[in-house]
Structure 1
Amino acid sequence: MMNKIKKEFEDGMKLIWKKVDPKDLKPGDHIYAYRLYGSYSHHGIYAEDGYVIHFTRTEGKEAILPRSRVEPETVPACPECGYQKNTGGGVIKTCLDCFRRARKTLHSIHYFMYGAPQLGFLLKNSGTCNTLSCTRSPQEVVKAANELLKSDDFGEYDLTGNNCEHFATYCKTGVRASVQTAFYDACLMKHKEPKNHS
């Protein structure tokens, strides 16, 4: 029993610290990069040859924080993939650097873990893992992501109901899920609960 608990704890700790060398990525990997000082993570599916398919804010929807007033309306297109920030959204395909860049910082890439042990899930449940099983082969995952890219039919971006983690999890499992937003929703509900003054 103690060995099982120890192994689950060690697996959970791997989730917290595991960074990925971009050279080790394989098509179909669900990856993420932290944003805003680690308060949330951005998710996508690694396609191949240094490209990621991911879901971004669609027009008219707010991100976690509104765009800065000093940020220009448009920025130059990326010389690698042609992506131009602030020019639309939805399901997009960009180079790995555009996927992991926030402002001028290139953030580390992490693997998203499926079938996480319950203890690991509880230790770091902020968009790093879930307990779902991945039911699709890497080829099926990339195919699902490419089909959604071609049709651009994943719906309107919604921070808590239809975000980048929902997209990546759907490509991997066929289920729309975001433990990151479920975790934050649970925290918000806990703070909103009326205090019992018995």
Structure 2
Amino acid sequence: MIHGSGIYIGDEKVIHFNGGGGQKTGTQTFLDKITNRLVLKHGGNHKQPCPKCGDQSNLEGVISSCLDCFLAGGNMCIYLFEYSVSPAVFLSKPRRGTCTTAPSDPCDVVFYRAKILLLLNGFGAYHVLENNCEDFAIYCKTSLLVGKNDVLGRGGQAHVVSVVGFISQLFNPILSKAFSLTADVGVKKDAMKVPVERLVARSKKT
């Protein structure tokens, strides 16, 4: 099953962060090209534009889709991402990208962040490793960013698919899980809470 992350806001609508179908090939990394071949675009399964969402095939940044488009017509499954898990539970998970040790904020705060980022398209440029849909969803839920710039490396979650993480998964599952935990936004010492207004202001300047 294909996997993506977003914020479900009710009324069968999901706010999520999309790389966009119009991205120039020359600006893509090697992993971007592989990902674009393997992963269906949200709503890309429709032969005709979705009657609810329209044609979103070339949209990029923060967008709102109906649940059917977000799930690519059944090619993706719904999984509830877990927050506030203990390190022991985190390490026991068979799959990466299903939980974090960081706590979630209340729903109204989460929805507010997601809607502001949608309105102002304020999450910056998509990057498969440093700024992707999972980073967006985790930021909306926690307001945590990693590093000083408040722009790239936001959540650190996607770094677990780096070359080091891939090799460790192949040759040493225990090392792989330990590597995943060190990349979790809930344990990183340089993670800080950043108000959405400040994030949007910084994103517009870059």
Distance change >3 Å, CA 85–CA 75, structure 1 → 2: farther
Bigger proportion of residues as strand = 1
Q: Displacement, 1:67?
A: 4.1
Unaligned runs of 5+ residues in structure 1 are 1-33, 36-40, 192-198
1:182 maps to amino acid = H
Q: In 1, are the aligned partners of 2:84 and 2:103 still within 8 Å (CA)?
A: yes
1:50 matched to which residue of 2?
12
1:76 matched to which residue of 2?
48
1:65 maps to amino acid = T
Q: Determine which of 62, 80, 89 is the counterpart of 1:91.
A: 62
Distance change >3 Å, CA 138–CA 131, structure 1 → 2: same
Q: Displacement, 1:99?
A: 0.7
CA distance in 1, matches of 2:89, 2:159: 16
* Offset from partner CA, 1:98-155 (integer Å, 9 cap, x none): 1111xx5343211100011222211335111011111x21011001000000100111
Unaligned runs of 5+ residues in structure 2 are 145-153, 170-206
Q: Secondary structure at the match of 1:66?
A: helix
Q: Displacement, 1:80?
A: 2.5
1:183 matched to which residue of 2?
160
Q: So what's the TM-score if we normalise by structure 1?
A: 0.64
Q: Determine which of 88, 92, 115 is the counterpart of 1:123.
A: 92
CA distance in 1, matches of 2:160, 2:123: 22
Q: Secondary structure at the match of 1:94?
A: strand
CA distance in 2, matches of 1:123, 1:183: 16
1:28 matched to which residue of 2?
none
1:49 maps to amino acid = D
Determine whether 1:114 maps to 2:83: yes
Q: Determine which of 146, 153, 167 is the counterpart of 2:136.
A: 167
1:89 maps to amino acid = E
Bigger proportion of residues as helix = 2
**Same amino acid, percent of matched pairs:** 34
RMSD over aligned CA atoms reads 2.8
Distance change >3 Å, CA 182–CA 145, structure 1 → 2: same
1:56 maps to amino acid = N
**Which structure is richer in relative contact order (CA contacts within 8 A, separation 6 or more)?**
1
Q: In 2, are the aligned partners of 1:97 and 1:106 still within 8 Å (CA)?
A: no
* Offset from partner CA, 1:36-62 (integer Å, 9 cap, x none): xxxxx2000011211000001043343
Q: In 2, are the aligned partners of 1:75 and 1:85 still within 8 Å (CA)?
A: no
1:98 maps to amino acid = C
Q: Secondary structure at the match of 1:78?
A: coil
